[in-house]
Structure 1
Amino acid sequence: MFGFGDIIKFLISFFVILPMVTLIHLSGHIFFATLFGGSEKKIKIGCGPIVCSFWNVELRRYYFWNGACEFKSLRHDNRVTNTFIYLGGSLFNLAGIFLIQNLVSEGILDKSVFWDQFIYFSFYMLFFSLFPMDFSDGSPSDGKAVVLTLKNQHERKISDDIQFRKIEEQNESKETFKDHNN
C-alpha cells in the first residue's frame, strides 16, 4: 500500500533527486561543448522565471521540471563533435549510475532508497533522452539528434535540452528565445 512514508519518498525524489539527475545530464552536454570549444555556455535547471544564478547555472522557479543547456559557436564543429555533445548527457547519467552502484556495493555509501531512486531516475533520463523520437514541441530527443547528425540531416543543432546559437542568429532570435523559455 501507499503510505505517508511513501509520500515523503515521492517528494524527495521529485524535488531533490530529479533535479540532481537533470543537472548531471546537462553537465554532460556542457562538458563536451566545452571540450570542443563552445562559448558562452549556460545550464538552466527547471523552467519559468529565474530565481537565482551562479557561475553559468540558472535556477528557475520550477527547478524540478525539465532543464536545458545553451552554448554558442563551437571551435570544432562537425558530426563527430556534435554526436559527443548530444550523447554527453546520457554518458554522464550512465557514469553516475555506475559510480553510485559501485560506491554502494563497496560499502562506501549505505544502501538506501535515496540511492535506489537516484539510479532509477538516472535510468529514466538515460532512456528518454536516447529514445529516438520527437517531442511535442518538435525538438528531437538526444538520440534522434544523434541519428540525424550522423545522417547529416540535422542542421539546427538542437535537441530537447540543448540549444545551440550561431553568432549571427543570436540577435534576431534573442526575444523569441526568452519568450519560449519563460
Structure 2
Amino acid sequence: MFGVSDIPKFFLAFFLVLPVISFLHEAGHVFFAWLMGGKNIKVTVGSGDVVFRWGMLEVRQYYFWYGQCTFDNLRRNHRLANVLIFIGGSLFNAVAAVAVVYLIETNVLEPGMLTYQFTYFSLYYIFFALLPTPYPDGSSSDGKVILELLRNKERALEKIYRVQWNEEEAQWRVLDHSRNLVESFADETQAFEKAREEAQRNRPSRLVSSGVGREVEIENYPRIPL
C-alpha cells in the first residue's frame, strides 16, 4: 500500500532518479552519434528555460522532465548507423540496470529504495522509448523511428534540398526535395542560409550543392532522438 511515509520516496524518484536515467539515455544517443562521426552534438536535459550550458550539455528549468539529443553531419549516415543511434539510449539504460542488479547480486551494493527505483524506472524508460508510437507534436518515439528505418519506409528516408546556380536568371536557386523552387537569391551565402533553414526544419534531410552532372553533400540533418 502507498502511504504518507512513501511520499518522500516518490519525490526522490521523480527529482533525482529519473533525471539520472534520462541523462544516461541521452548519453547513449550521444555515444553512437559520436561514433558515427556526428558534429555539433548537444544534449538537452529537461524542458523550459535554460538554467546553464556546459560544453555539449544544456540543463533546463524542469530538469526532471523531457530530454533530447541533437547533432548534424553524420559521417556514417546510413540506415544501420541511424538505428544504432536511436537504440543507443535504451541500450545504455539496459546496461546500467543490469550493472546495478549485478552489483547487488555480488554484494557490492546494498539493495534499497534507490537501487529498486533505478532498475524499475530504467525498464519503464526503455519500454516507452521503444514503444513504436507517434507523439502529438508530430515527432516519434525511438522505437517508431527504428521500425521505420528497418522497414525502409520512404518517410524515414532523407529529403534532399539543393542549392543550384541558374545561368539564365543569374541567381542561386533553393530547391526542395521535390525540386520545386523555394526561393532565389543573388547572393550564394543567402541561398545556403535559406537551404540550411529549410533542411533543419524538415529532418531527416540533406543539403547538397547541385552542379552540372554532379551533386556534392554540404551537410546532413538526421532525425532527433528523444
Q: For the superposition of Structure 1 and Structure 2, which TM-score range results when normalised by the shorter chain?
A: 0.7 to 0.9
**Equivalent position of 1:163 in the other structure:** none
Change (3 A) 1:11 1:33: same
Amino acid at match of 1:155: L
Post-superposition offset of 1:136 = 1.5
Change (3 A) 1:137 1:2: same
Corresponding residue SS for 2:66? strand
Which structure carries more helix by proportion? 1
**Equivalent position of 1:12 in the other structure:** 12
Identity %, equivalent residues: 40
- Separation in 2, partners of 1:169, 1:146: 27
- 138-147 or 21-30: which moved more? 138-147
**Equivalent position of 1:45 in the other structure:** 45
Is 2:24 the partner of 1:24?
A: yes
Amino acid at match of 2:7: I
**Equivalent position of 1:72 in the other structure:** 72
Q: Gapped runs of 5+ residues in structure 2?
A: 160-192, 202-226
Post-superposition offset of 1:5 = 2.5
Change (3 A) 1:101 1:156: farther
CA RMSD for the aligned pairs? 2.2
Corresponding residue SS for 2:99? helix
Post-superposition offset of 1:173 = 7.5
Q: 1:65-118: per-residue Cα shift (whole Å, max 9, x none)?
A: 111111011000000000000100010010011000001111111100101000
Q: 1:123-177: per-residue Cα shift (whole Å, max 9, x none)?
A: 01100011111112121111110111122221369xxxxxxxxx976545779xx
Corresponding residue SS for 1:147? helix
Higher relative contact order (CA 8 A, sep 6+): 1
- Aligned pairs, how many? 167
- Separation in 2, partners of 1:170, 1:124: 37
Structure with max Cα Rg: 2
1:6-155 equivalent positions in 2, closer than 5 A: 6-153=6-153, 154-155=156-157
Amino acid at match of 1:89: G
**Equivalent position of 1:178 in the other structure:** none
Change (3 A) 1:168 1:100: farther
Change (3 A) 1:92 1:62: same
Change (3 A) 1:82 1:69: same
- Separation in 1, partners of 2:73, 2:40: 8
TM-score of the pair, normalised by structure 2: 0.69
**Equivalent position of 2:188 in the other structure:** none
Amino acid at match of 2:46: G
